[in-house]
Chain A
Amino acid sequence: MNVLEIQGLTKKFGNFVAVDNMTLNVKEGEIFGFLGSNGAGKSTTINMISSLLQPSAGEIRILGKDSRKHSRHAKTNLGIVPQDLAIYDDMTAYENVAFFAGLYGLRGKLLKERTEEALEFVGLGDRAKSRPSTFSGGMKRRLNIACAIAHKPSLIIMDEPTVGIDPQSRNYILESVKKLNESGCTVIYTSHYMEEVEEICSRVAIVDHGKIIADGTKEQLKAIITDVKDLSIELKPGSAYSLQSIGKIPGVRAVNEKEGRLSIQSDAAVDNLNRILKSLMDGGAEVKALQEEEPNLETVFLTLTGRSLRDQ
């Protein structure tokens, strides 16, 4: 069954099209990755799903019901973890979770149980009585998540829940997402970190400029790029070369340089390794190592957009 169905969803801000005719389905039990660079339109899409923004066109169905006609039904079944923290700094962690859970109708003993459970789940059980103003960035992010799960929604949407936090908290959050999913919850996980999405998501949609440019399982996405090879060339420090002239070599689709390492996407069918190396050495560069990389989602993104995910 589809927990979420989106059809022809579009959002315009004036003349600017932030979300462009988007269509996708999320099935029950999935961890669905929503991958795209900053400004791709991920948050705008989520804001429409959570009824905060009116779509300019298109339809959203949650558990089979139109989200605008049955907004209460839709909102009750959703748990939203907003990109920007939405917690009260002067209320304790417990009070925060209890307040938001109460908005979904929970009261009394059930509210208390669910609040404690949610805090325990994100690892803040022993900090229930502390205020978020005393928390680290990672703890605040975890509290933000607890506020979205205490009412046990069918679909949890997390908008970049790991932005700007330490690796430990990030791992904790990723593990929590997996645990939530195992307990029967469908998750939409938004990120511009390819590794995260690759690690936890069962299916991924890649968004760029408001459009879904590819979607499917990780394997399906990587299969897109069987016709592309991905070279990684490590150069001696101080090596001079011309990115431009490499880009002009037949078959080369994209060239990027990061910390003395060139990554080159090229048509698999074209045999151009010699010409690439020659171009480098003509420029006086010294090659230290050369490697053909396994395709990953980063490669997929690069291949599809010609840009790196992180560059922006």
Chain B
Amino acid sequence: MWRDIWWVAVHTLKNTFRKRSSLLVYVGLPIIGVIGSIMLYGSAGQQVLRVGIANEDGSAVIAADTAAYVSSLQHVKTTLLSREELKKKLASADLDSGLILEKGYSDSMAAGKPEGIAIQSVKGQTVTAYIKGMLNAYLDNTAAISRAAGGDRAAFDKLYADYRGGGFKLETQQVADTSLTKAMSVQSIGFLILFMMTAAVNLSEIILKSREDRTYYRILSSPISARSYVLANVLVNIAVMVVQVAVALVALRYVFGVDPGLPIVQLGGMLILFALVSVSLSLVIVAFSKNSAVSGAMSNFIITPSCLLAGCFFPISIMPDTIRKIGDFMPQRWVLQSIDELQTGDTSRISINLAVLAAFALVFFLVAAYKFGRNNDTKTFV
């Protein structure tokens, strides 16, 4: 039996990927989803932030260094200007963010009590958060030096000179603001979920299409049983899902260098569990559809709206409470929820979430199996 299933599965795979467009749909889209979310979040990776610096602390070493440090950050372009100009350019959106170093800032740093540094921005949280996160690393280090010098200015200057000699680069990598990359990762997974669900239906639809072009009946008149045929299709479906997950995660983590904020293996495992949900749901859709036109319509009706409700496209926090409650009935919600929890290091409910996902898959599989069984009794021949 497995020999037959293998034969049909390989045939289905070959036939599907014979078309170049399939490669784009099944492998390209998940990557595009990742790129899309990185762009959506005005990433540290892609977009250049324009930061204006108003240095009112003149020639003081630390103030100049701070400005230089910010300029040395990746994907940041700085301009030096006056406070008034900075405000004007921020207002006209010629700058994304502004850094103001007030008079006495350098001295306060040396004294270990940082004062007179302010960040302003129009783009809101994410931009400020990135600059702030990076700047904090520098401020923390300088504060540590100040503490080590114990108020002795000469000692401070010497330590600080050593620190500068080591370069800023090392530190910049240690402390990066992670809220941005976390949000980006969740968004990528949101898109990935949509693409996985769509792909699963497309692949299960092969069963309906083979019924329409009569090859299904020809195959069933060979020693292959209907069950083996469907099983082969399911195996292909799962294999494609696994590839999609792998491609998306590799693109996210290793090509674009976005840290999702949880171990990649955990994330992958959870998404593969969700792959089973996608496949089983697609089987339900196909089992209840007379032909591929019906299943196409049905999947449009189910997939995108449920992804929306589950928070695949926008964070669920911006939605009204009732919608949020409905979202809990969508399997996608439980994946996103689990990712949220794992990102914050909260593992208390993770096993419940996984169990809920497994239950979704199981119920869908059973419904599909039941319906397929009944369809076979009333097989229609024209």
Contacts and interface: CB of A to CB of B under 8 A. Distances in A.
B163 interface: no
Interface string B210-225: 0001110111111110
A89 B15 CA distance: 11
A82 interface: yes
A86 B3 contact: no
A104 B3 CA distance: 10
B146 to A, nearest CB: 72
A296 interface: no
A75 B223 contact: yes
B379 interface: yes
Contacts of B20: none
Contact of A104 (B218, B223, B377): B223
A52 B217 contact: yes
A52 B379 contact: yes
Contacts of A295: none
A82 B217 contact: yes
Contacts of A75: 221-223
B222 A104 contact: yes
Contacts of B214: 82, 84-86
A103 B9 CA distance: 11
Interface string A235-274: 0000000000000000000000000000000000000000
Contact of B219 (A43, A53, A84, A103): A103
A167 B8 CA distance: 36
Interface string A44-57: 10010011111000
Contact of A44 (B213, B219, B224, B381): B381
A182 interface: no
Nearest to A51: B221
Interface residues of B, number: 22
Most chain A CB within 10 A, of B19, B222, B377, B379, is at: B222
Contacts of A219: none
Contact of A72 (B18, B220, B223, B379): B223
B221 A50 contact: yes
B217 A86 contact: yes
Contacts of A121: none
A100 interface: yes
Interface string A65-78: 00000001001101
A125 interface: no
B296 to A, nearest CB: 20
A43 B382 CA distance: 10
A44 B217 CA distance: 13
A306 B212 CA distance: 37
B256 interface: no
A91 B14 CA distance: 10
A102 interface: yes
Contacts of B219: 100, 103
Contacts of B11: 99, 102
A87 interface: yes
A103 B215 contact: no
Contact of B15 (A44, A80, A88): A88
B381 to A, nearest CB: 6
A90 interface: yes
B78 to A, nearest CB: 57
A72 B19 CA distance: 34
Interface in A17-37: none
Interface of A: 43-44, 47, 50-54, 72, 75-76, 78, 80, 82, 84-91, 99-100, 102-105, 147
Interface of B: 3-4, 7-8, 11, 15, 18-19, 213-215, 217-224, 377, 379, 381
11 contacts: A51-B221, A52-B221, A78-B221, A85-B214, A86-B214, A86-B217, A88-B215, A99-B11, A100-B222, A103-B222, A104-B222
